[in-house]
Chains A and B, each alone.
Chain A
Amino acid sequence: MSVGFVLWLFAIAFGCSALGGMLGMASGIFIVPLLTLFGHLDIYTAVGASLVSVIACSCGSAGPFLTRGLTNVRLAIVLETATTSGALTGVLLVGIIPTKWLYFLFAAILLVSAQQMWTPRRAVAVLLGAADEKSWGDRLALNSSYPDTTLGETVDYRVHRVPMGMLLMYAAGLISALLGIGSGVLKIPAMDTALRLPLKVSTATSNFMIGVTAAASAGAYFMRGNIVPGIAGPVALGSVLGSLLGARILLAISSEKIRLFFVVVLLLLAVAMTLTAFDVHLFGAAK
């Protein structure tokens, strides 16, 4: 492995993460396409490296969310039973699914991400409603409150439709293990529409869970030898440092323009990944 390649890996991860950080989005979805299309790495090595960077970013950014009381720790551990089960299923499937289908799946996820980026999330009305002893939210005491800085007060919220949320979380864990992404694409609909969490709580809790989900699959990839230190190391370090920088940069250009830029990039990557599935390599063949 050449020094140039190691520096390139670091720079790619740093750049993605810094750009993503400005929008408050996870950049994991860019890592695997860039490493496979331009770095010519095989998809398993790319996924392994991406999983480590996903964990790194989750752990690196969890602190402030926790201390500000935005993370619902109880809900997170309940949902983690579903996400890690999904990850375990993914680990079992990864050797069975042909790589061609992994590229297709990745392209599909890129398209869904582009669509989500195009239509920004709306804040869901926080429905308090009456206590319902039969609901999981009440039985497991998952309902909580968070300090809202814009309102300047503590907002109580209830957790709705936990089984439905668990099902979506299982799918998110499965996709995460197969593609090495944080699966925000599936977690966000689960959190927003099924569980109906306040936006800030859902972002913080989702970010908190990603680390554990990715650790379940990264552990398996590590043992299997799919995590190459010389590749995963610079990618993880670049991602953490990039996300720290990205969160601190004041936007010189409007976030609308960055959003549009991301949509275009996501669409282009979706096309390139689909072509790779058909063995058409735009940027040279993989090793």
Chain B
Amino acid sequence: MKTKEPVISHLESRLAALLHVGTWLACGLIALGLPLFFILDRKDQHPQFSLAHLADPLMKAGIAVFILLPVLRVIVMLVLFRRQKDYRFAAIAALVLAIILVSVLVGVISSRTAG
């Protein structure tokens, strides 16, 4: 059986670090936004600009990080496979990215047609 131990473990530790950091970044953004809802609930007492308006954008950013994280993980795999000159697997990773892109485009198109 062919083993590619050193390169593979390098890939795995990179991916683990990426997912770890990304998860905490996304959680942090959501955790920052969440308490602001408490202010938002009494929005009538507040002037035009208040921290409460940041609740939604912060949580939206956290959610976006979560959705982008696996995509970024596939990009990292693509780059590392290419670097290993494993073009077959780089192509497979590119295919996965392409499918995700098409899926997101379907979302964009259907949101436009729905008005």
Asked if A and B are interacting partners, one says: yes
* A residues adjacent to B (C-beta < 8 A): 1-3, 6, 10, 52, 55-56, 58-60, 62-64, 66-67, 69, 71, 73-74, 77-78, 80-81, 84-85, 87-88, 91-92, 95, 131, 140-141, 143, 145, 156, 211-212, 214-225, 227, 229-230, 232-234, 236-237, 240-241
**Interface pair A230/B30, CB less than 8 Å apart:** no
Residue of B nearest to A49 (CB): B63
Q: Is the CB of B59 within 8 A of A230?
A: yes
Using A62-B15, A77-B89, A88-B102 as known contacts, say yes or no to A223 and B33 having CB atoms under 8 A apart: no
Establish whether residues B37 and A215, one from each chain, have CB atoms under 8 Å apart when the complex forms.
no
Residues A80 and B96 in contact, CB atoms below 8 Å apart: yes
Q: Is B23 an interface residue (CB 8 A)?
A: yes
Complex partner residue of B12 from A55, A73, A223, A232, CB under 8 angstroms: A73
In the A-B complex, the 5 residue pairs with the closest CB atoms: A220-B107, A223-B107, A233-B59, A211-B70, A219-B104
Q: Which residues of chain A are near B102, meaning CB under 8 Å?
A: 88
Question: Could you write out 30 A-B pairs with CB less than 8 Å apart?
Answer: A1-B37, A3-B37, A52-B66, A56-B27, A63-B16, A66-B12, A67-B12, A73-B11, A73-B12, A77-B89, A81-B99, A84-B100, A131-B1, A212-B96, A212-B100, A215-B69, A215-B70, A216-B103, A222-B67, A222-B104, A229-B59, A230-B37, A230-B59, A233-B63, A236-B26, A236-B62, A237-B31, A237-B34, A240-B23, A241-B27
Q: CB-CB < 8 A to B2: which residues of A? A: 141
Say yes or no: A77-B92 contact (C-beta < 8 A), given A223-B108, A230-B56, A233-B62.
yes
Shortest Cβ gap from A36 to chain B (Å): 20
Bound: A236/B4 CA distance, A: 36
Tell me the bound Cα distance from A95 to B106 in angstroms. Answer: 11
Q: Which residues of B contact A92 (CB under 8 A)?
A: 106
Nearest-neighbour CB distance to chain A for B97, whole angstroms, equals 9
Interface string of B15-31 (1 = CB under 8 A from A): 11101101100110011
CB distance B100 to A67 under 8 Å?
no
Query: What residues on A are CB-neighbors of B63 within 8 Å?
Result: 52, 222, 227, 229, 232-233, 236
Cβ-closest chain B residue relative to A219: B104
Using A52-B67, A56-B23, A141-B4 as known contacts, list a sample of 8 further A-B pairs with CB atoms less than 8 Å apart, ordered by residue number in A: A2-B41, A59-B23, A60-B23, A81-B92, A229-B59, A233-B59, A236-B30, A240-B23
Contacts of B23 in A (CB 8 A): 56, 59-60, 240
Among A59, A216, A230, contact of B55 (Cβ-Cβ < 8 Å):
A230
The interface of chain B, by Cβ under 8 A from chain A, is: 1-4, 8-9, 11-13, 15-17, 19-20, 22-23, 26-27, 30-31, 33-34, 37-38, 41, 55-57, 59-60, 62-64, 66-71, 73-74, 77, 88-89, 92-93, 95-96, 99-100, 102-104, 106-108, 110-111, 114
- Asked whether B96 lies within 8 Å of A77 as measured between CB atoms, the reply is yes
Cα distance A192–B37 in the bound complex, in angstroms: 44
B33 CB to nearest chain A CB (Å) = 6
